[in-house]
Amino acid sequence: MSREADTALVRAVPDSFIDALRADVGPTLNADVARQQHDAYVVLLQSGGYAVETIAADEDHPDCVFIADTAIVLGPIAVVTRSGVPSRRGESNPVRDVLSERFSIQTIKPPGTLDGGDVMHIGGSVYVGHSRRTNRNGIEQLAEICAILDLPLITVDVHDGLHLKSVVLLIGDETVLVTPNSVDEEALKGLRILYEADSERHRCSALPIRDGRLMVTANAPATTDMLAEAGYAVVPIDVSELQAADGGLTCLSIIFREP
Ligand code: CIR
């Protein structure tokens, strides 16, 4: 899992972030606040032992900071995705350029759609969310890529959440933090499940970092306490402005081990 990884690829916040996609209309987004919070996220990754590489912001793509949706790294292969939302499809090119220096590239082609936020690599298996953003054809293309790597692919139906990793988060070896009643949990059998507090439904995001700590969003104190009691070395971080655009901690970086 990510503890063996050593590079985190991130993307800067554009001024156009104020036009980022979001399910619910809320107060106007603030790009400066998002940038400060993103900076803190980068510092935390660096303190956790990652070399952080930053791709410049793209003003034509308000959601570009959510870089994890554009590509996933599976061993020696980087899969360049094809977003389920057309306005995000142009985000991939510079990410592909950076990853192609290190990995062999596979690309999801039409009519397939796949967002990186729907793909989770746990131990010897890959889990993919069938969601509003990732369709059956995208999953079939990913299955062909996983077959090259001899990795079983498990499909998880996402009922209530943008992406699989909006509601199922890898927080440690074979352990996931799940938003209750958000996915078909049958698909997760064999994994240890901890649940997000009901009072914080869809608020908590978490990301394990290389030094063994667990980054957790600051807006979820009850879930954070539960995780601390379960033995996790939690480190809260405020990314509320990025969450206001439906992002979480996993979608802000592509973490990989240098080949
Ligand atoms: C979107 O709707 O695509 C962005 N505003 C948020 C993407 C968040 N990505 C993720 O959870 N993997």
pLDDT at 259: 87
Q: Match 């499809």 to its residue by tokens.
A: 89
Instruction: Answer yes or no: is the C-beta of 63 below 6 A from any ligand 1 atom.
Output: yes
| Alpha-carbon gap, residue 138 to 164, rounded angstroms | 14
Residue nearest to atom 5 of ligand 1 (CA): 21
Residue 192 tokens read as: 């240890």
pLDDT over threshold 80, residue 196:
yes
For CA atoms 20, 81, 257, 58, the dihedral sign is negative
Ligand 1 centroid, distance to 170 Cα (angstroms): 17
| Alpha-carbon gap, residue 61 to 137, rounded angstroms | 25
Q: How confident is the model at residue 1 (pLDDT cuts 50, 70, 90)?
A: very low
Q: How confident is the model at residue 106 (pLDDT cuts 50, 70, 90)?
A: very high
Query: Per-residue pLDDT tens for 138-193?
Result: 999 999 999 999 999 999 999 999 999 999 999 998 999 999 999 999 999 999 99
Q: How confident is the model at residue 5 (pLDDT cuts 50, 70, 90)?
A: low
Active site residue 202: no
Q: Which of 38, 61, 163, 202 is catalytic?
A: 163
Instruction: Answer yes or no: is the C-beta of 61 below 6 A from any ligand 1 atom.
Output: no
Q: Which of 18, 24, 63 to mutate to test the pocket of ligand 1 (most atoms within 8 A of CB)?
A: 63
Query: Per-residue pLDDT tens for 132-148?
Result: 999 999 999 999 999 99
pLDDT at 101: 96
pLDDT at 26: 87
Query: Per-residue pLDDT tens for 216-229?
Result: 999 999 999 999 99
Q: How confident is the model at residue 2 (pLDDT cuts 50, 70, 90)?
A: very low
Predicted TM-score of the model (pTM): 0.96
Ligand 1 centroid, distance to 156 Cα (angstroms): 18
pLDDT at 51: 96
Mean pLDDT, rounded, for 90-115: 98
Query: Per-residue pLDDT tens for 116-130?
Result: 999 999 989 999 999
Ligand 1 centroid, distance to 247 Cα (angstroms): 5
Active site residue 251: yes
Q: How confident is the model at residue 96 (pLDDT cuts 50, 70, 90)?
A: very high
> Hey, what amino acid is at 138?
G
| 246 phi and psi angles, rounded to 5 deg | 70, 20
HEC per residue, the chain:
CHHHCCEEEEECCCHHHHHCCCCCCCCCCCHHHHHHHHHHHHHHHHHCCCEEEEECCCCCCCCCCCHHHCEEEECCEEEECECCCHHHHHHHHHHHHHHHCCCEEEECCCCCCECHHHEEEECCEEEEEECCCCCHHHHHHHHHHHHHCCCCEEEEEECCCCCHHHHEEEEECCEEEECCCCECHHHHCCCEEEECCHHHCCCCCEEECCCCCEEEECCCHHHHHHHHHCCCCEEEECCHHHHCCCCCCHHHCEEECCC
Mean pLDDT, rounded, for 232-247: 98
Query: Per-residue pLDDT tens for 43-85?
Result: 999 999 999 999 999 999 999 999 999 999 999 999 999 999 9
Ligand 1 centroid, distance to 199 Cα (angstroms): 22
Q: How confident is the model at residue 3 (pLDDT cuts 50, 70, 90)?
A: very low
